[in-house]
Amino acid sequence: MVSNVDVEILDLNDFELPLYGIDYEIDHGIPDNAHKFLEAIKASYGFKF
């Protein structure tokens, strides 16, 4: 076991993201929620699926 850790559970339902391909990305850019989700992952020391 690991002690003295903070755990944050990210729920994909909290990041409304469209299913899209490159055409969607070209027309609309990368959604803000995709950037927010990526930043949450980058800010962590690790993750588990």
pLDDT at 36: 93
Tokens representing residue 9 in the block? 């559970």
Q: How far apart are CA 38 and CA 13, in angstroms?
A: 15
Q: Does 49 score more than 80 pLDDT?
A: no
Domain range summary for the chain, segments of one domain joined by +: 12-42
Tokens representing residue 28 in the block? 């609309």
Q: Which residues contact 17 (CB under 8 A, 6 or more apart)?
A: 31, 33, 34, 37
The tens digit of pLDDT for each residue in 3-46 reads 888 888 888 889 888 777 888 889 989 989 999 999 998 988 87
Indicate the pTM of the whole model.
Answer: 0.67
Which has more confidence, 49 or 35? 35
pLDDT at 2: 72
